[in-house]
Chains A and B, each alone.
Chain A
Amino acid sequence: MLSIVNIIPASLSGEPHQDSEPNLAVNPAHPTHMVATAFTPAPMGGPNAPIYVTTDGGATWSLRTVVPGNGFVGTGDITVGFATTGGMLYAGILNGSTGRMQILRTSGFNSTTPMTVLVDRTSEDQPWVVAGSVVVSNASQDRVFVGSNDFAQPAGATATIDLSQNAATATAPAGFAPHQLERRATVGQDGPPVRIALHQPSGTVYAAFQRLVSGTFPNFDTDIVVTRDDNWGTGANPFSALLDSADEAIGQRVATGRFIRFNAQMGQERLGADLTIAVDPTNVNTVYIAWCDRVGGAAGTDWTLHVARSTNRGQTWSADLRTITNAKNPSLAVNTNCAVGLIYQQFTGTTWDTKLEITSNGWSSAVTPLVLHTAPSSVPVSTFLPYIGDYIRLLSWAPTSMGCSAATTRRISPISRTASLTSVRPIGRTIGC
């Protein structure tokens, strides 16, 4: 069963905000506990932006104004993740008031106490949080990874990951420190997205980023690069385990020379930063990646989503398993039955359709997308960018079934300009390989 829930609480019904760029976290220890985020301003103003919380598996939601920095649209970029055990919630944000990148935590996701600031730095973009936990000497430690595009990194190698080996209790910065993922030359920086896939049992962590190889703004040739660490990033030189099979530099290039025109428009939305990676929780060797580029090059008009797979820990990659034209915001998840879920948002010319595909054989047989919702693309008129967001998130958590959840922005009434966030609750069917 698939149920779609409008997560705008009853007391805020009819709120008119754009609510772009949603993100989602599920507490693995209590999967009925979830947190969603978006560009939603605090309903009554004040210094803190809101998060959405649920304690009943997504049936009902409420807001907590606990994120430091409440700007015109609430917080800036925000992603969230729960530790595997213990219930600690972590967030990476661009502060809505200062624009600075901050890493936050709270032990009570449902609390009304503002989250604690662990890291506060300038000149960064798109912090992306993934958290896990491991038992060391009979004590649980939270291992937390925050990808970002850190413009303070030298030599234009800006794809970066902050990591902490024990983030739950220590005072700021709680062990967090940045590490460069990019090891090659760039045109001066990498692209905005850095995405992370954690294989909890083994401590293997994959990170993917978008290397800008050549070109001038807004037209770039890019490489899609995957790096890997085999022990939670604990070594002196983390994320250096995967060498490219061609140039032997750190970081395997999954695709090379892919054309991107940053800030090109599709409907009322901008383009440029689409990337996702997921690892099979039952087989650390199997990794899926998806990204978008313009197949037609500079003269093209498309924005094409590609999905590829590696079965040898990121060393070699398949040809496209799936391509989808004029789609963005891919997000992948793999469940413990090795079923793969892909969510994305596709522009039809008149609508934005949010679709979910689930495959148990890597798209070797055709998959009929589940259309989660369809919304007109021209209304409401965009008040800012991103219109629907630079990312969304798909998660799996159920041990025996494909438990998928996603938060997406939905515009339900072109007349009233009503905007609503929706979440997709678990799909209660067993899908295996």
Chain B
Amino acid sequence: MSDALKDLLGRSAFSFVATIVHLGAATMTDVPVDNHTAVVQVDHVLHAPEAFAHLENHRITLQLAQGVSLPAPGESYAFFAEGLAFGESMAVVEIGRLPVESVEPHANLAMAAGVTAGAFNPLLHEMNQDKLRVHMQQADAVVVGRVSGIEKAGPSTRSEHDPDWWRATIDVFHVERGAVSPGPLKVLFANSLDVRWYQVPKPKAAQGGLWLLHATAGDLNVLAPFQLLHPEDFQPTQQLDELRKPVGD
């Protein structure tokens, strides 16, 4: 069950226990309706973005998946879904469903802990850690070190989406993986706050931690051998032990 649940969680941003109220109907006036369009009553939100954590007792539109049995009005399931349309109400599309009994233990634990829409928080944390482990394995170098210098690296291009490359010197004192030696290491990063780059880590003076580095290529390789590319490329040092565990552990 855990693998099936993880698969569904990996493909959906919203899960909820709901009861089918009507088939061939919708809570929004301007979404297409067919026999797989259902009005459902949300009985319990299992996991959701914060804005949708309090949908209990609301009726929403659920576009049921094709190729699986059509539930009857009055039946309840744990539905896994992603967003489709948002207006005076909202419509979501089914990614999958499970029997309510299979998610009850998760929901009960979260309720006992007083957590809203947190039935799968432990599983989601595990999944996020696994994603990070995979990302770490795909990095060309993983080091622990502290920033000892920052400088502008090369000219800017004439685009508002210019990355504005800067270069950090990281004093490496532990190499977890990659062809890197302890000591100073040059790392490029996009200092731009442009929409395309603002989430890339921007090293600060004396900042220490775990750095997931990606090899540069072409013109960038002249500026530095590695770069930061992804929001998760900087982690607290304490994450290292966790990320050393095998994926799925």
Contacts and interface: CB of A to CB of B under 8 A. Distances in A.
B98 interface: no
Contacts, number: 123
B232 interface: no
A149 interface: yes
Given A62-B88, A63-B87, A76-B195, A43 B51 contact: yes
B91 interface: yes
The number of chain B residues touching the other chain, given as a range, is 35 or more
A14 B48 CA distance: 16
Contacts of A72: 195, 198-199, 231
Given A20-B195, A39-B195, A112 B160 contact: no
A67 to B, nearest CB: 13
A72 B194 CA distance: 12
B83 interface: yes
B31 interface: yes
Given A112-B32, A382-B193, A10 B159 contact: no
Interface in B53-88: 63, 81-88
Contacts of B49: 43-45
A138 interface: no
Contacts of B89: 11
A60 interface: yes
A187 B32 contact: no
Contact of A385 (B63, B87, B194): B194
A62 B83 contact: no
A302 interface: no
Contact of A45 (B82, B85, B196, B231): B82
Interface string B96-127: 00000000000000000000000000000000
A11 B90 contact: yes
14 contacts: A9-B86, A10-B88, A11-B86, A11-B87, A43-B52, A45-B83, A60-B88, A63-B87, A65-B84, A72-B195, A76-B196, A112-B85, A189-B157, A384-B198
Interface of A: 9-12, 14-15, 20, 39, 42-46, 50, 53, 55, 60-65, 72-73, 76, 94, 99, 110-112, 125, 149, 151, 187-189, 191-192, 212, 216-218, 220, 262-263, 270, 272-273, 382-386, 390
Q: Give 9 nearest A-B pairs by CB, closest first.
A: A62-B87, A44-B83, A384-B198, A45-B13, A44-B13, A63-B86, A46-B82, A9-B87, A11-B90
